[in-house]
């Protein structure tokens, strides 16, 4: 079996709908430029106020196969 190496990066997704949507948006967007995403782990959830709007934020660690 060939050995594999994975790189882990941190990303932050945002949404005005909720934390689930913020996490999903982050993984969807990361998937547009990263190949072979393996695991996405939510590290922290918070929110901020933008005027009268609540912005949900999901900070995540994402791992993908390292190719170079």
Residue 1: per-residue pLDDT: 58
CB 9 within 8 A of CB 62: yes
Distance of CA 44 to the CA centre of its chain: 11
Per-residue pLDDT of the chain (68 residues; tens, 9 = 90+): 578 889 999 999 999 999 999 999 999 999 999 888 989 999 999 999 999 999 999 999 999 988 76
Q: Which domains does the chain have, with CATH numbers?
A: 6-65 (3.30.1660.10)
- The predicted model scores a pTM of 0.84
Instruction: Please report, to the nearest 10 degrees, the dihedral formed by the alpha carbons of residues 43, 27, 25, 11 taken in order.
Output: 50
């Amino acid at each position: 079996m060939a050995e594999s190496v994975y790189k882990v990066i941190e990303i932050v997704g945002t949404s005005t709908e909720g934390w689930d949507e913020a996490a999903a948006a982050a993984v969807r967007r990361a998937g547009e430029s990263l190949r072979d995403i393996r695991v996405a782990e939510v590290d922290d959830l918070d929110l901020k106020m933008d005027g009268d709007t609540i912005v949900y934020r999901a900070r995540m660690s994402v791992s993908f196969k390292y190719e170079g």
